Amino acid sequence: MKLILLGPPGAGKGTQAKRLEDKYGFVQLSTGDMLRAAVAAGTEVGKIAEAIMARGELVPNEVVVGIISDRIEQPDVAKGYILDGFPRNVAQAEALDAMLKGKGTELDAVVELEVDDSILLSRIETRAAETAGGARADDNAEALAKRLTVYHEQTAPLIAYYKARGKLKTVDGMKDMDEVTRQIEAALGISKGKGSLLSRLTGG
């Protein structure tokens, strides 16, 4: 299963990707996590990305496209992967399509987590307050608001892009976490929880 989780910052993409990874073994591929690791390790990519990320802007396409094309070649993603935070604009989506086509494959689905801006802004403020001076350089109110603007300008057009290609599934990201997971599973036609066909058949 090759999936994209699409949605604004604070929509819960990382949380849901992690859950799908734990449950189904699809590997979560977060370009944000990979870039933060590169910054921490002081690599060439990290040096390019650090200041851009701190401002809440997008790292150049060739950098993230290069990272993803290397990563999806690794044997551990054979069972499937969930792209979390990539693609972030139409040029990246086109590069991904070309990459997959070159391997004779394509995406299975793109799951959009839909969340109202008013909710995101209050989550963003809470997160900025909780992490003040803390873990992420871009978790301050200013950078978070910038990331939301960048999402609307550059990433939201991907909703129409994938809809036109018949890949888009939209889920209500404002429900509680368990319900969002259930909706994603229903949209993808997979399930492993209590009450699922699999657990009923196996008595689990």
35 near ligand AMP, judged by CB under 6 A: yes
| Of positions 7, 8, 12, 32, contacts ligand AMP by CB under 6 A | 32
86 near ligand AMP, judged by CB under 6 A: yes
* Shortest Cβ 34–ligand AMP spacing (Å): 8
| Of positions 56, 109, 120, 183, contacts ligand AMP by CB under 6 A | 56
Closest CA to 124 of 13, 36, 35, 11: 11
Give the whole-angstrom CA distance, residue 204 versus residue 198: 8
Q: Give the E-state strand segments of 7-132 in sequence order.
A: 27-30, 81-84, 109-114
| Of positions 7, 12, 85, 173, contacts ligand AMP by CB under 6 A | 85
46/189 with CB nearer ligand AMP: 46
45 near ligand AMP, judged by CB under 6 A: no
| Of positions 39, 45, 64, 124, contacts ligand AMP by CB under 6 A | 64
* Shortest Cβ 186–ligand AMP spacing (Å): 25
Give the whole-angstrom CA distance, residue 162 versus residue 111: 10
Enclosing H/E stretch for 170: strand 168-172
131-136 long-range contacts (CB < 8 A, ≥24 apart) are 136/36
- DSSP, res 193: S
18/182 with CB nearer ligand AMP: 18
Give the whole-angstrom CA distance, residue 87 versus residue 4: 8
- Residue count, binding to ligand AMP (CB under 6 A): 18
Complete edge-to-edge strand list for the sheet that includes strand 2-6: 27-30, 81-84, 2-6, 109-114, 168-172
Q: Which residues are catalytic?
A: 13, 88, 127, 136, 147
Give the whole-angstrom CA distance, residue 184 versus residue 171: 7
56/173 with CB nearer ligand AMP: 56
Give the whole-angstrom CA distance, residue 128 versus residue 9: 12
* Shortest Cβ 184–ligand AMP spacing (Å): 18
52 near ligand AMP, judged by CB under 6 A: yes
Per-residue x/- track, 117-156, ligand AMP (CB under 6 A): ---------------------x--------x---------
